[in-house]
A and B are shown apart, each in its own frame.
Chain A
Amino acid sequence: MYVDMVTARHYEERLQEEYLEGKQPAFDISAGPIPGELHLAAGHEASGAGVCQHLRDDDAVTAPHRPHHVAIAKGVDLKRMTAEIFGRETGLGKGKGGHMHLFDPDVNFACSGIIAQGCPPAAGAALAAKKRNTDSVAVAFLGEGAIDQGGFLESLNFAAVRDLPVVFVIEDNDWAISMPKDRVTDVENGSRRAGGFDMPGVRVDHDDAVAIYEAAGEAIGRARDRNGPTLLEVQVHRRMGHFMGDPQSYRPERDQDAALARDSIERLAADLRAHGVDDDELDELREDAHKRVEEAIAWAKDQPEPEPGAAHEDVFVNPGSGVTDSEPEFELAGGDD
Chain B
Amino acid sequence: MSQQTQRVERELTMSRAMVEAIATEMRDDDEVFYMGEDVADYGGIFDSTEGLREEFGYDRVMDVPISETAYIGAAVGAAQMGMRPIAELMFVDFFGVAMDQIYNQLAKNTYMSGGNVSVPMVLTTAVGGTYNDAAQHSQTLYGTFAHVPGMKVVVPSTAYEAKGLMHNAIRDDDPVVYMFHKRLMGIGWMPAPDGPKTPVPETDYTIPFGSADVKREGDDVTVVTLGLHVHRALEAAENLADDGTSVEVLDLRSLVPLDTDTIVESVEKTGNLVVVDEDYRSFGVTGEIVASVADEALGALDAVERVAVPDVPIPYSRPLENEVVPNVGDIEAAVERIQ
Contact = CB atoms under 8 A, between A and B. Distances in A.
Direct contact between the two chains A and B in their complex (CB within 8 A): yes
Interface of A: 60, 62, 91-97, 101, 103, 105, 108, 110, 112, 114, 117, 119-129, 131-132, 138, 150-151, 154-155, 157-158, 161, 313-318, 320-334, 336-337
B291 interface: no
A131 B59 contact: yes
A306 B97 CA distance: 36
A60 B74 CA distance: 12
Nearest to A324: B206
12 contacts: A62-B77, A92-B114, A92-B116, A101-B108, A123-B77, A151-B73, A155-B70, A320-B256, A321-B208, A327-B208, A329-B3, A330-B205
B67 A154 contact: yes
B45 to A, nearest CB: 21
Contacts of B43: none
B194 A117 contact: no
B113 A114 contact: no
B112 A103 contact: yes
Interface string B150-187: 10100000001000100011011110100000000000
B113 A97 contact: yes
A120 B70 CA distance: 5
Contact of A315 (B78, B150, B197): B150
A95 to B, nearest CB: 7
Interface residues of B, number: 77
Contact of B72 (A60, A120, A122, A320): A120
B142 interface: no
Contact of A128 (B78, B97, B172, B174): B78
B11 to A, nearest CB: 7
In the complex, which of the residues A105, A138, A157, A321 has the most CB atoms of chain B within 10 Å of its own CB atom?
A321
Interface stretch (B79-87, B272-280, B305-313, B327-335): B79-87
A320 B176 CA distance: 10
A93 B113 contact: yes
B69 interface: yes
Given A93-B116, A323-B172, A330-B4, A155 B73 contact: yes
B199 A120 contact: no
A327 B198 CA distance: 17
B261 interface: no
Secondary structure call for the B interface: mixed
Nearest to A155: B70
B137 interface: no
A337 B213 CA distance: 12
Contacts of B208: 321-322, 324-327
Given A315-B111, A323-B171, A327-B207, A128 B70 contact: no
A131 B110 contact: no
In the complex, which of the residues B174, B201, B234 has the most CB atoms of chain A within 10 Å of its own CB atom?
B174
A131 B8 contact: no
B318 interface: no
Given A127-B74, A333-B9, A96 B112 contact: yes
Interface in B1-20: 1-9, 11
Interface in B89-116: 97, 100-101, 104-105, 108-116
Interface string B44-82: 000000000000000100001101011111111111111
Identify the 5 closest CB pairs spanning chains A and B, nearest first. Answer: A120-B73, A124-B77, A121-B77, A94-B114, A124-B74
B124 interface: no
A43 B198 CA distance: 64
A337 B215 contact: yes
Given A128-B77, A337-B216, A150 B114 contact: no
B7 to A, nearest CB: 5
Contacts of B168: 322-324
Nearest to A136: B81
A318 B206 CA distance: 15
Nearest to B208: A321
B77 to A, nearest CB: 2
Interface string B241-261: 000000000000000110000
A318 B59 CA distance: 29
A120 B109 contact: no
Contacts of A101: 108, 112-113
A334 B83 contact: no
B21 to A, nearest CB: 13
Contacts of B78: 124-125, 127-128, 131
Nearest to B206: A324
B112 A93 contact: yes
B109 to A, nearest CB: 7
B251 to A, nearest CB: 10
B77 A127 contact: yes
Contact of A316 (B85, B152, B160, B215): B152
B118 interface: yes
B112 A157 contact: no
Contacts of A323: 168, 171-172, 206
B234 A337 contact: yes
A128 B205 contact: no
A322 B109 contact: no
B209 interface: yes
B304 interface: no
B299 to A, nearest CB: 27
B132 interface: no
A120 B110 contact: no
B65 A121 contact: no
A123 B72 CA distance: 11
A171 B23 CA distance: 43
Contacts of B104: 112, 114, 117
A60 B81 contact: yes
A108 B81 CA distance: 8
